[in-house]
Structures are given as C-alpha cells and as structure tokens.
Structure 1
Amino acid sequence: MNFTVQFTTRWADFDANIHMRHTAYNDYAAEARLRFFNKFGITIHDFTKEKVGPILFEENTKFFKEIHLGEDISVNLKITGLSAKGERWKIQHEVFNSQGKLSAVINVYGAWLDLVKRKLTVPPEKFQQIFNDAEKTTDFKEIPLKSE
C-alpha cells in the first residue's frame, strides 16, 4: 500500500536563509509515521492499551534540494527492512518540494518497546500487519536478529 502525506509548511520550519531548517524535515517524517499508523487503525490509544511504542535507534537525512518559505511538501513512507516477527524495522521517507522534486531522503531504524518492561518486544499482530502490508523499497531486506 502506498502512503504519502501532503503538508502545508509553517513559518517556524524555516531559518534565516529562508529555507526549511534541517530538523523540520525529520519532524515531518515523524508526523508522517504517526499518520501512517492512524490511517491503518492504530492510534495513540492503541499504543497505550497494548503498552507498546515505537523507538528509534538511528535517523539519517540526506538533503538534495532546498524547500523555500511558503512551499508545501509531500512525505512518503516505505519499508526498507523488517525482522521476521516485526520487532525491528527500517523506514524510508522521501520528502518532495511543491514542484515534486526530491528534496531529502530520511532513513530511520527502529523497534517496538514494551512500555512496562522497557525492553524491546514483538509487537501485537495488528502492528505487524501494517508494516507487512506497507510499500517496500526495491532494496528491501529482512533484518536478521542475533541469537540471545
């Protein structure tokens, strides 16, 4: 399933050079992830009820084109990696400017955290399924887990 979010940028997203500040790209990627969960039936209430939440180990951003003050953007979400039981995942976001040109690529590596034990965990089936059904990148790879 393809997933893209359109955003209207805000004054606070821009710096003195009149282009989008570097951390704003990551903020929009995080918002896209939350909207992805919401669109497919997982809300903040589900995280609380299941006592599970997503955490990030790594976030890497590559910039290609400026986004200028007043431009709207779109941000997509694709899965680049997933462990067999869905406990770890890698997501790629592409950020496009208002002309549809690629402005940045954000790669995140994360996992599911048991919010009571504060340890990594296998997510509930409902959480696993949306990542299984999500669009994959052409270089998608299963994430191997080390034996414990």
Structure 2
Amino acid sequence: MSEPFAVSITVRGYETDTQGHLNQAVYLQYAEHARWSMLRAAGIEQRALIDSGVGPVALENTLRYFRELHAGDEVTVSCAFVWGEGKSFKVEQSVTKADGTVAATLTGVAGLLDLTERRMVADPRERFKALASEPGVLGL
C-alpha cells in the first residue's frame, strides 16, 4: 500500500493560544487544508465539484491530541480516504512533527452531497473517480 497523501505546514504564531500551544480548533483547519490539497492533487478543483452539482461534507470527526505544537514547528498533515460501500467513506489523518512524533490524529466520516437534491450521493467513490484526473491519489 502506498503512503497517504500529505502536506507540510509551519505552525504560525497567531494560531497559538495564551499558553503558546497550537489552538485546538486549528488542528481541524490543518486537516481541512490537507483534504482540499489532496483533492487538488487528484485533479479535482473546488469549482469543478460545485459545477458538477456536488460538495464534500463532514459527517463526523474525532480528533485526538497527543503532543503539543508551538509556533515555528514544522508538521506534516496526512490524509487518506478509506472507501467502503454506501454513501459515506472514512477519512484518516495525522499531524506529525518533523521528528516523527504524532501530535494528533483525526478520524472522520464524510460523504458527497448532491447540491440540488440536498441528499447524499449514493456512490461517492464513483463520482470522485469520474471527476479525478489522478484517481490514485484518492485511493481509487
């Protein structure tokens, strides 16, 4: 199996709290950034999703914190879609420090919303596959 998609991020000072730690909500923003970056790497731009009448939606997220992050820390945020049957799929992500220490993990459930019907697309895997120029990035 190949390595999951990943992006590098430097923790910025304004993202930290009064204790100097990365604010807990920013981890979700990092995860979101990695997801959109993965879609772009697969050849799917946000505009293309909207123009095709669909949009990704987060249905559930579980974020676990393991180590502190501070301004200036270099991290890698990974992202992998785990496909199953049905209308939803799993999202597995980690935030890893430069020394290999996992600072946080995010596991989630996502889907693809039909923007006209306001219902989940029956087979998000096939819809993503049809939109992607590089479906392998998405594990397809």
In 1, are the aligned partners of 2:80 and 2:139 still within 8 Å (CA)? no
CA-atom RMSD, angstroms? 1.8
Q: Offset at 1:9?
A: 1.9
User: Structure 1's 127 and 107: CA in aligned 2 closer, same or farther, altered over 3 A?
Assistant: farther
For this pair of structures, how many residues does the alignment match? Answer: 131
Q: Secondary structure at the match of 2:103?
A: strand
For residues 30-71 of structure 1, the C-alpha deviation after alignment (integer angstroms, 9 at most, x for no partner) is 000000000010001211121111111111111111111211
Match of 2:49 in 1: 47
Counterpart for residue 10 of structure 1:
12
Question: Normalising by the residue count of structure 2, what TM-score does the alignment of the two structures yield?
Answer: 0.84
**Is the CA contact 2:6–2:78 (under 8 Å) kept in the aligned structure 1?**
yes
Unaligned runs of 5+ in 1: 134-148
Listed one character per residue, the Cα deviations across residues 76-122 of structure 1 (whole Å, up to 9, x for unaligned) are 1123x42336x311111110123221100011111110011111113
2:130 paired residue among 100, 104, 126: 126
- Structure 1 counterpart of 2:102: 102
- CA distance in structure 1 between the aligned counterparts of 2:60 and 2:112, rounded to whole angstroms: 14
User: Helix, strand or coil: the match of 1:77?
Assistant: strand
Supply the AA of the counterpart residue of 2:94: E
Percentage of pairs with the same residue: 24
Q: More deviation in 123-132 or 1-10?
A: 123-132
Map 1:1-148 onto structure 2 (within 5 A).
1-2=2-3, 3-79=5-81, 81-84=82-85, 87-121=87-121, 122-123=123-124, 124=127, 125-127=129-131, 129-130=135-136, 131-133=138-140
SS state of the match for residue 42, structure 1?
Answer: coil
